Amino acid sequence: MVHVDLSVAVWFMAFAVVIWSAVGRPGLAWLGWSGFGLAALGTALMTVSPFFPGAEPVLNNYIPVLEQPLFFASLWIFAAGTTLAVLRALLTSWPRPFLADPLGLGSFLGALAALLSLAAFFVSWWLVPWVEGQIYYEVIFWGGGHTLQFQHSLLMIVAWLWIAAALGRPAPVSPRAQSLMFVVAAVPLLAVVAIYLLVPVGSLPHVELFAKLMIWGHPYMLPLLLVGVLALWRLRGTAADPAKSAFVSSFVLFALGGVLGYAIHGVNVVIPAHYHGSTVGVTLAFMGLAYVLLPLLGFARAEGAMAIWQPYVYGAGQLIHVLGLAWSGGYGVQRKVAGADQFLTTLPQKIGMGMMGLGGLIAVIGGLMFVLVCLKAMSGGKRR
């Protein structure tokens, strides 16, 4: 359960700060270092919290929790550090001129989405009365979790366009047009403010409106996704590169996750198939951008067969994992159950869940490959 928080919260926010630091202007270093220190402390405490007494898991969406003081302390400390990092990002990444720097604007809008998400978490915690059980945490993290999706998607597009430009094939769309598309993609964030101001937090309409925001808000990103398709198409025939491999894999997984999102019917494992596809698409984009940034930070380039194949191994494993979940969901396997409670009685159900396990194992290997490739590039120290 903590692994979910470490991936969709800690990893995504950590790399978001990398992007904001890379595109932002110098200054306010004390704010950045303070945020880093608090976030690192919160992450360390979160990692060890399952080993302490009373770690009862609550499997709510977005930010699953352990009903244990140490875990809640780690969450608050991490949130405080993230807030400082987001404030620095907003103050240092404001694009100038506004429409001539689409990557800067996209990064800034991602930071704005992060701030709205943090505000939504806090307001929900402040206003929703305590009740025992999963429903409380479901409501607490519902609005902020849906808002956080926009941050991840915006920064994924930033990573795609950055990778394409770094590989010498920038998207064939003017910077001004790209900037306007980023603004359009961020327009649904206005609905977040409206929902919190006009609808009682935690009420059924509050929950339903955020679900509709997910359905109707994300299509505003279609123009940017089409730009991503054009950028990816322009990379055909170019030399093999780990960043290119990551771009290809990211697009495939994110597109699959998006399609599966509109195929959800009922509470079954099609739901985790959808969000595993989408979140892994973001992760692969960040992996590709990490390969681009390594030499810019003074380290060696990520080269060799392992680096080129790493995104494909990770992506293929996750693809099998997602397809296994989607297959199983079609045969009625329920989510958030394990072992005998899954009632795997038919061969198709067992095949689907077997695919899920095999894909997960392959993805773990691909993740370890990413760590090894980065460590190899960084092991020689910074280049002068």
Q: Tokens 């390594």 sit at which residue?
A: 294
Distance from CA of residue 207 to its chain's centroid?
A: 21
Is 339's pLDDT higher than 50?
Answer: no
CA 70 – CA 52 distance, rounded (Å): 8
The answer to whether the beta carbons of residues 173 and 99 sit under 8 Å apart is no
Return d(Cα 217, Cα 255) in angstroms, integer: 16
Closest C-alpha among 288, 223, 221 to residue 250? 288
Give the residue with greater pLDDT, 259 vs 312. 312
- Give the pLDDT band of residue 30 (cuts 50, 70, 90): confident
* Residue-range domain boundaries for the chain: 240-384
Reported as a pLDDT band with limits 50, 70 and 90, residue 268 is: low
Looking at residue 26, its pLDDT comes to 80
117-123 average pLDDT score: 93
8/297: higher pLDDT: 297
**Whole-angstrom distance, CA of residue 182 vs CA of residue 194:** 20
Query: Is the pLDDT at 36 greater than 80, yes or no?
Result: yes
Whether the per-residue pLDDT at 292 is higher than 50: the answer is: yes
Per-residue pLDDT tens over the stretch 53-96: 777 777 777 788 888 889 899 999 999 999 999 999 999 887 77
Which residues, in sequence order, are bridge partners of residue 66? 57
